[in-house]
Each structure stands twice: as structure tokens, then as C-alpha cells.
Structure 1
């Protein structure tokens, strides 16, 4: 009977830990982390989706309704980006390149009229992100992988 109780407790603990990353952001980080996810993380992004995704996600320049001049989507899951932060606060560059789609504003000044043309640009880049307490909160820049 004690073995069953111990097994149940261990399974419960394991399930609790598995759910932790989605809920664990400190209150002062959560909004910026969620904004980072919305603006920059999309595993199935394609060059043809720039305008539709930016409109659907209501991505703008800061807290305005102004169109964002450039937006970059990282084509991977957040679990692959988290190690870049290494659990710390600061600016970090990835040790491995990621596929990214860069969308540049073609026309329009304010949402919902932002048009990013028919095609963005996809390539592979090292990403530099700002992290707060181990959570990615800002896409800083990237470096093209040559060769």
C-alpha cells in the first residue's frame, strides 16, 4: 500500500513539474514573456504568412497602433529558445542558429492596414534576445549564418 501511495505522489509531482514552465513566470515578467511569444515564436511560419500573421496576432510598434517596420518570427518552439537564456537575466546570443522569417513593412502606417507584401525572407540566424529571470522577453537582433 505504501508503494502505491509513493508512486501516486511521484506521478503527481512529475505532472506538476511538467506544467511548471507555462505558469512559472514571475508576475513582473509574464506580460513581456507573453508578448515575446506572440511577436516572435511561430514554428510553422512561412514567408507567405507575414501580413496575415502580423494582423491576426495584432502586432504593432510598441503600445501604439503604428505598423511595425520589421518583425522576425523564430521558426521553433519556445522550449528550444529557453536554453539561450540559461536561467539568467541579460542579453544572450544563441549558440546554435535558428530558422527565422523576417517580415518588412511594405505599406500602411496604422493597424489594421499594415501590409508586409506577398513574401517575407527566410534564412538561418543566430538570435540575440533579452532575458529576464530566465525568460525571453525581447528579440534584440540576429546574425546571418554564412556558408
Structure 2
């Protein structure tokens, strides 16, 4: 008896002949396949009363719809045209003036000693914490 033929019939749900049934009960490989198929079938039959759309599709679709709505609302946001143009122009001019006047360079030089002091204090703090453990 050919195990592959029996496996194919089992997987296709076809009826077995008497000789094939005898082989099925005597061959450990075919018997294991049959038992696995019966077990799988019973699991699927138990799950039948739960709608498949609820299990997989609905939560995924809700997430997709939420993401699309949030993206649409983000992309559709438009401030009032006159106000936004004015703010953009003022922001550009102020940024340009601050960069040209070396404001940020001077601010960096002013904050450097504070940053170094803070770094030293944090280093000391973390070394103290490290010594506790």
C-alpha cells in the first residue's frame, strides 16, 4: 500500500477502501497523519461559532481606518491663508536677523560654562549612583 496515496485521499477528504483502512490502522505514519487531521478538524469545528471577521479582519480594519482618518486630518489642516503667510514672513525675517547677528553663536558661548558645570555635576552624580550598586 502506498502511504502517499492514502495521505492524498485523507487530505482531499476522500473515502478510503477497506484495504486502505487496514493499512491506515497498521502504518504508524499514516495513523499519525489521520489523527492529526481529525484533531485539526475538531479544532476548526469548535472555532466555527466565532465569526472569522471578528477574529482577524475587524480589528485590523479599525486600525487602518483610524490611521487613514488621522492622516487625512493632518494633511487637510490648513491655517488661514493671510495669517499663515504673515507668520511665515515674520518668522523668516526674525530667523534671518538672528543668524546674521551671530545671536546663536553668542548664546552658545554664553551657555558653554553653564553646560560644562552641569556636565561635571551630572558626571559626579552618576559616578555616585554607580558606587551605590
TM-score class normalised by the smaller sequence? under 0.3
Output the TM-score relative to the length of structure 1: 0.24
Output the TM-score relative to the length of structure 2: 0.26
Higher helix share: 2
Higher strand share: 1
Q: Which has the larger radius of gyration?
A: 2
Larger RCO (CA under 8 A, 6+ residues apart):
1
